[in-house]
Amino acid sequence: MNKKRLCCFYVNDIHLITMLLPYINKRINESTKVITILETDMSRSAKKVIERVQGMKSEKLLEIDWRNKSLKYLYECDIKDKLILIGGTDEFMKEANNIITNREESCMILNCYEMMQGSTNLQGILESHSKVVNTSGEKYPEEVFTGYVQKNYNKITL
C-alpha cells in the first residue's frame, strides 16, 4: 500500500485548473486515471479553460469530472493506481485524506490548497507532502519555496 502525497497552491478555480492542466495531461498520456474529490463545483471553470487550451488532449481532459462530490464517493470508487485530486476546506481535505489512507490501494494524492481560504500552516503542509505540483510539474518544496528547509525527512510516502 503505497500512497504518494503531492500538494499545490492556488488563488482561484481558473488558476488551479490552468496550473494543473499540463501535469494532468501528462498523467493522462501515461494512462493514469484522474479522480476529483472537490468540495465545490469547478466544472464551468474547467470547461472554460480546457476549451481554450491549444495542443492539449482536451477531449480526455473534459472527461474529468470537475463537479463537487461528497466524501462518501471515496468509499465507493476505485482508487487503485489513480491520481486523486482533492480540493476544498482544510477540514474537507483532511477527512478525504483519512478515508484514502485507511484504504489498502496504492494511489497518488494531490491536495490542492486555496491560498485565500486560510491554509495558514505552510510549513506543516510542505512537511506532509513529498512534492509540490505547479506548471512545471512535480518539484521538491525547496525548489519552489526559497529558504524552505525540510524538517521531517521520513514523510515521502505513507
Partner residues linked to 10 by β-bridges = 114
For the stretch 47-64, pLDDT in tens is 888 888 765 556 777 789
Predicted confidence (pLDDT) at residue 108 exceeds the cutoff of 90: yes
pLDDT bin (cut points 50, 70, 90) of residue 156 is very low
Range with lowest mean pLDDT among 14-23, 79-88, 112-121, 137-146: 112-121
- What integer is the mean pLDDT of 73-95? 94
Predicted confidence (pLDDT) at residue 142 exceeds the cutoff of 60: yes
Q: What is the predicted pLDDT for the residue at 65?
A: 92
C-alpha R_g of the chain: 15
Task: Beginning with the edge strand found earlier in the chain, give each strand of the sheet holding 34-38 in spatial order.
Answer: 34-38, 83-87, 107-114, 3-10, 131-134, 137-139
Rounded Cα gap, residues 111 and 97, in angstroms: 9
Give the pairing of strands 131-134 and 137-139: antiparallel
Q: What is the mean pLDDT of the chain?
A: 87
Predicted confidence (pLDDT) at residue 120 exceeds the cutoff of 80: no
Q: What is the predicted pLDDT for the residue at 153?
A: 52
Predicted confidence (pLDDT) at residue 91 exceeds the cutoff of 60: yes
For the stretch 13-38, pLDDT in tens is 999 999 998 899 899 989 999 999 99
Predicted confidence (pLDDT) at residue 158 exceeds the cutoff of 50: no
Q: Which residue has the cell 525540510?
A: 150
What Å distances lie between residue 107 and 38, 117, 122, 123, CA to CA? 17, 26, 23, 24
